[in-house]
Structure 1
Amino acid sequence: MADRLRIHPAASPPPEEASVSSKTRPTNHEPPHTVPTTNEPPHTVPTTNERSLPNRRCRYCSRLTCMLWTILTAVAFTLLAGAAAGIMYLVFRFKIPTYSINRLALSAFKVDGNLTVRASFVVTITADNPNAKMGIYYLDGGRLSVLYGDNLLGSGSFPVFYQGHRNTTVINVIVSGEAPLAGPLVTALRRQQRETGTVPLAVHGDVPVRAKVGKLKLWRATAQARCNLLVGAVNPEARIGILSNTCSFKFKLSS
């Protein structure tokens, strides 16, 4: 019995392992570990708009440069053309041609069934070129118009021809038009003629021309004539007498 009862000592539990080693445990005297920082700005990736900004500036500068060169070229060309015209004027002593209206005749006058007046005038013009070394080409597209106030009585084509040096040419231009018999235009003409016995008319001419000096054809221009006439009674059976005639002329370079 005594042999059976034996007391064995209980095994002592193993010592608990320290969760943190004393060597790695921070103390109050040691500063905590921090990540070093720098003052450099953060790196950014340029966007698409920022990348294309220099290219846009370059294209804008290129367009501006082309525009400036175009303007300078146009100014230089204008100055050279003016200088050339001045030199030629001093060398050849050009004179402006003169034009005058000698006669105005009513060649046709008809009233149709619709009470519309159809009339044709023959305008006789004298063109004088006083230049000894310059001829004038009268080109296609010239028009001559007869007006009463702001109302167009008729228009016609100016003939195409060449006028030589120191030449005087007589030109007949047929001008045709129509207007209602009871309309305001015919009524105003009748009243004007009845009250004063005269009718004020205007003749406008716009004719493209080109001068020729020797074998050289100069630039194209438009001869503009503006004439104010005071005529007598407009009678289909008689010639229309021109009581007064004042004209002005100018030449405009064509573009």
Structure 2
Amino acid sequence: MTGKEYCSHHKDRRRRQVRRACACLLIFNFIVLLLILLVWAILQPKNPRFVLQDATVYAFNVSSNTFLTTNFQVTISSRNPNDKIGIYYDRLHVYATYRSQQITYYTSIPPTYQGHKDVNVWSPFIFGNNVPVAPYNGISLTSDAAAGAVSLTIKIDGRVRWKVGTFTSGRYHLHVRCPTYIPFAGPRTTGVVIGNAIKYQLTQRCRVNV
């Protein structure tokens, strides 16, 4: 065998070895992915369930139809309906909107783990000082406040991971929407005066998307 033939044979052998290694790696990855999908299909993970239980309003003032100052505390419960899957809440931001406009700052909830069938309850304060509002929203807010009731949406945005045994998934976006109607005054009010604030029992189920 000449030197040229030997080099050609050696290169062909290396190519075959590389192809076999790549094929084995692809097959291994395919089997792992298939097993994960099968386990996922069998377990059928369900989204966590959120409920807006109450809201305690300390301040809700509209000035000149332009700026809004708010300060209130909400109680939100989350239940993991899965009996074999845990949930990591890596990041949660709570805020309020009025007619799709954000009217409070973000309030962070500390990261936590939620076990099977567990329930977590959070009571974050959300507030905003002289937050500019769109002119049309400012007029509507003033009118609603004068009428004694305001429709808000409490939102939670964050990231979650699923845990099955020792396997933990990648991060998924979590979007929670809790529409609520707060009657500040009038015959429909459900508020209870607590010091310098008014607490409203809501028990409003939220929409959850992951």
SS in structure 2 at match of 1:219: coil
TM-score by length of 2: 0.66
Match of 1:153 in 2: 103
Distance 2:36 2:83 in 1: 17
Q: Which residue of 2 aligns with 1:40?
A: none
Deviation, structure 1 residue 219: 1.4
Change in Cα spacing, 1:138 to 1:172, as seen in structure 2 (3 Å) is same
Deviations, residues 175-207 of structure 1 (Å, cap 9, x unaligned): 121226999556532311323x32110122111
What letter matches 2:144 in structure 1?
Answer: Q
More relative contact order, 1 or 2 (CA 8 Å, 6+ apart): 2
Structure 2 residue runs without a partner (length 5+)? 1-25, 186-190
CA radius of gyration, larger in: 1
The 8 Å contact of residues 223 and 250 in structure 1, kept in 2 or not, is answered as yes
**Which residue number corresponds to residue 238 of structure 1?**
198
Do residues 247 (structure 1) and 197 (structure 2) align?
no
2:86–2:116 contact (8 Å) kept in structure 1: yes
CA distance in 1: counterparts of 2:97 and 2:171, whole angstroms: 27
Which amino acid letter does the alignment assign opposite residue 211 of structure 1?
W
TM-score by length of structure 1 reads 0.55
State the Cα deviation string for residues 41-68 of structure 1 (Å, max 9, x = none). Answer: xxxxxxxxxxxxxxxxxxxxxxxxxxxx
Matches within 5 A, 1:30-109: 86-107=37-58
* Match in the other structure for 2:14: none
User: 1:164 Cα deviation (Å)?
Assistant: 0.9
Aligned CA distance change for structure 1 residues 96 and 183 (closer, same or farther; 3 Å): closer
Is this contact kept in 2: 1:136–1:212, CA < 8 A? yes
Instruction: Give % identity.
Output: 25
- Deviations 1:129-176, CA, capped at 9 Å, x for gaps: 021111111113x21110111332213112211111110111112212
Alpha carbons of 1:152 and 1:181: their partners in 2 closer, same or farther (altered >3 Å)?
Answer: closer
CA–CA distance in 2 between the matches of 1:237 and 1:118?
15
Runs of 5+ in structure 1 lacking a partner? 1-72
Does the aligned pair in 1 maintain the 2:156–2:177 contact within 8 Å?
yes
Aligned residue in 2 for 1:228: 179
Q: How many angstroms apart in 1 are the aligned matches of 2:132 and 2:163? A: 47
